[in-house]
A and B are shown apart, each in its own frame.
Chain A
Amino acid sequence: MGREIIRGVKASVSSRPRCRWVAPALLPVINLALALLLSAVVVVLIGESPTRALWLLANGAVGNAEAVGYTLYYATNFVFTGLAVAVAFHGGLFNIGAEGQAYIGGLGVALLCLGAGGWPTAMIVAAAVVLAAAGGAAWAFVPAWLQARRGSHVVITTIMFNFIASALMTHLLVNVLIKPGQQSPETREFDPNTWLPQLHDVARSLGWEIGRSPLNLSVLVALAAGVGVWIYLWHTRWGYELRALGHNETAAVYGGILPARTVIVAMSSSGALAGLMSLNEVMGVQHRLLLNFPGGAGYVGIAVALMGRNHPLGIGLAAVLFGALYQGGSELSFDMPNLTRDMVVVIQGLIILVCGALEHALRGPLEAVVR
């Protein structure tokens, strides 16, 4: 048996150079193909043509400038939540609570925008970034603290916190923040100077014409967040500690890393990233606080992080892919009324299944093939 292990190690060492980039590059493509293939079965069950559906979906997502704008607008949300899930993943933590953290981040942004009508826009934007991050971080801090100090598992507590956030926000929107004299539970519209400028307006002021879409300046915040996460994870001591903890807790503790502090820092950063999502939705597009505005983006973040292999670059690509699925999915439902946007949720779930839960099932055979 011992010799087998040695042979196994040798084989894996000799196969390293090619496998190192082939598997990471090919796996997401194979995963996506498999998830789409399974979804095609569902499309056939519904009684539509999968190839035509795929073509309509792609065309709806990137067929014209407006569609691309919408795709990137959705992608902005998913970059934030994807980064949030990925930061936690690096520490061996599974943050299912991005949805609730984004929701509470939105509360911070909304309170600011409701109260700060007279401030200069630049100041409001800066304060909104801080408050969105603070709201999300605060909502992640409690589960993090409970895991670090009291030993309760973040998976369960973050799920519970999603429900608690939902109840809290429903209460606030129905009883406290609701615009007087209306039925639907939402705040009044913010003053226009608190809105994040939309990109087509910015482009026009620079002399360019681009398609009208909800894409707004928060996409730049998303890019900055991606770079920030990359620096944090691979070029700071905190990031090193986090990754060390995620790889091997015993070794990390032996190396002098404090697990409790690392877990709290990581989960709070994760929550902060999720909270930033509300910049795009609340401040950039809706300009008011709506019931359940995150709309599942926190869960899409799980798929994005898994597919992007927890690297900011991969997350960016995966977020654009999911943005395209969401945008293409709503266009698709116009042309094929039988296919609702729920199909996109199916694809999303299947991607999490094949990329996340079945990763070992595919990686082994693939590495054997490309060796």
Chain B
Amino acid sequence: MSETALLIALLAAATARGAAPLVLAALGGLFAERSGIVDIGLEGKMLAAAFGAAATAAVTGSAWAGLGAGVAASVLVSLVHGFACITHNGNQVVSGMALNITLSGLTAALGYAWFHEGGQTPLLGPGARFAPIELPGAAALAGVPGVGTAYREVVSGHNLLVYFAAAIVPVAAWIVYRTRFGLRLRAVGESPDAVDTAGISVSVTRYRALVMSGVLCGVSGAYLSIAHHASFIRDMSAGKGYLALAALIFGQWRPVPTLGACLLFAFADALQARLQGTPLPLLGVVPVQLIQAIPYILTVCLLAGFVGRAVAPRAIGIPYLKER
């Protein structure tokens, strides 16, 4: 029994670790998309941040400097997206794709040339990354059956950025639904001309949303390279940006359901990693690849209206022209 409990606890912990970068990137995408800017570039921003963070942490030896550099790199990419889509009314999907492709090449090329380790950055020492934190009381509660295991394995023992990801969900929900900026953000994504008529700049609101997106994707990318792993590996985001986008759509562009989608997707991944060919009751051996494809299949089904309905912000993807 306690072995099953431990297994469940380990699965839950793996889910939390897997969900953290998804939550951060998806919430970043939420700000951008709620303001009416399609954010396919989550992947590229995460890669930029992962590389920036690992490279800086490797050189300075400081995790915080790495985090700062990662966020800066990601915000910069976000601003390029804004320059193309907001200032020059470019196609938002094309711009996002362009940034993803550019960053996938750029991080690998720079990593290869600067560190001579085949596109990787040097392995980071203990001070240069965010180490797991033992929460107070984990040792004291260890003797308590059930609660002790759950607390030690699931709640305690993650790195700082996982807790940040958990804390940012209510904060993001509060910003989007309870602040003046959040109201403008949602309005600008639904009906930018109304916002413009009210004397609020559509461009500035959208740029602010993209900066938010850049910051959150930056933390997400830094999580990958200086918290979860200890170096940058080429293309290390490995589709997580697109998965976050899928989670955002699956969560219908709302913070808490998006968190749910991220947890679901991360759970599928954790399960897949643990199963690896173990036969399941009734189903037999499920191919790992099928479980990996589940998030994408679910998102397609949702978009098609087979399960629920995903309604995008009304002005999404449409450049705002002040006068026609």
Contacts and interface: CB of A to CB of B under 8 A. Distances in A.
Interface of A: 42, 45-47, 94, 96, 143, 146, 150-153, 155-157, 159-161, 163-164, 167-168, 170-171, 174-175, 299, 302-303, 306, 338-340, 342-350, 352-353, 356-361
Contacts of A163: 239, 242, 293, 296
Given A299-B97, A360-B88, A361-B88, A164 B113 contact: no
A291 B306 CA distance: 32
29 contacts: A46-B110, A47-B113, A146-B300, A150-B305, A151-B305, A156-B249, A156-B299, A157-B300, A157-B303, A159-B242, A159-B245, A164-B300, A168-B289, A171-B290, A338-B113, A339-B109, A340-B108, A342-B106, A344-B105, A346-B102, A349-B104, A352-B94, A352-B97, A353-B95, A357-B88, A357-B94, A357-B98, A358-B88, A360-B88
B103 A356 contact: no
Contact of A161 (B85, B90, B239, B300): B300
A353 B109 CA distance: 18
B91 interface: yes
B11 interface: no
The interface centre, meaning the residue of A46, A306, A357 with most chain B CB atoms within 10 A of its CB, is: A357
9 closest pairs, A vs B, by CB? A345-B105, A349-B102, A357-B95, A152-B303, A349-B101, A356-B94, A357-B90, A352-B98, A353-B98
B224 interface: no
Interface string B231-268: 00010000100100110010000000000000000000
A64 B295 CA distance: 48
A339 B100 contact: no
A362 B304 CA distance: 37
B90 A361 contact: yes
A150 B302 CA distance: 10
B289 A170 contact: yes
Contacts of B94: 94, 302, 306, 352, 356-357
A171 B287 contact: yes
A175 B290 CA distance: 12
Interface string B290-324: 10110011011001111000101000000000000
Contacts of A299: 97, 101
Contacts of B93: 94, 96, 155
B109 A342 contact: yes
Contact of A164 (B87, B90, B293): B293
A349 B99 contact: yes
B293 A167 contact: yes
Contacts of B155: none
B113 A46 contact: yes
B300 A343 contact: no
Contact of A349 (B89, B100, B306): B100
Nearest to B319: A360
B148 interface: no
Given A163-B296, A357-B88, 7 more contacts: A46-B109, A143-B300, A152-B303, A155-B93, A306-B94, A342-B104, A349-B106
B121 to A, nearest CB: 15
B110 A353 contact: no
B21 to A, nearest CB: 17
B244 to A, nearest CB: 12
Interface residues of B, number: 53
Greatest chain B CB density within 10 A among A157, A303, A356 is at: A356
A356 B99 contact: no
Contacts of A170: 289
B105 A358 contact: no
Q: Which of B84, B113, B245, B310 lies at the interface centre, i.e. has the most chain A CB atoms within 10 A of its CB?
A: B113
A358 B112 contact: no
B104 A345 contact: yes
A141 B140 CA distance: 59
Given A163-B239, A348-B105, A349-B104, A339 B113 contact: yes
Given A94-B94, A156-B299, A357-B90, A346 B106 contact: yes
Nearest to A333: B112
B61 interface: no
Contacts of A47: 113
A356 B289 CA distance: 34
Nearest to B234: A342
Contacts of A345: 101-102, 104-105, 108-109
Contacts of A157: 300, 303-304
Contacts of A344: 105
B128 interface: no
A161 B301 CA distance: 12
A33 to B, nearest CB: 17
A22 B40 CA distance: 33
A353 B106 CA distance: 14
A7 to B, nearest CB: 15
A143 B296 CA distance: 13
Contacts of A350: 98, 102
A361 B87 CA distance: 9
B122 interface: no
B119 interface: yes
Contacts of A171: 287-290
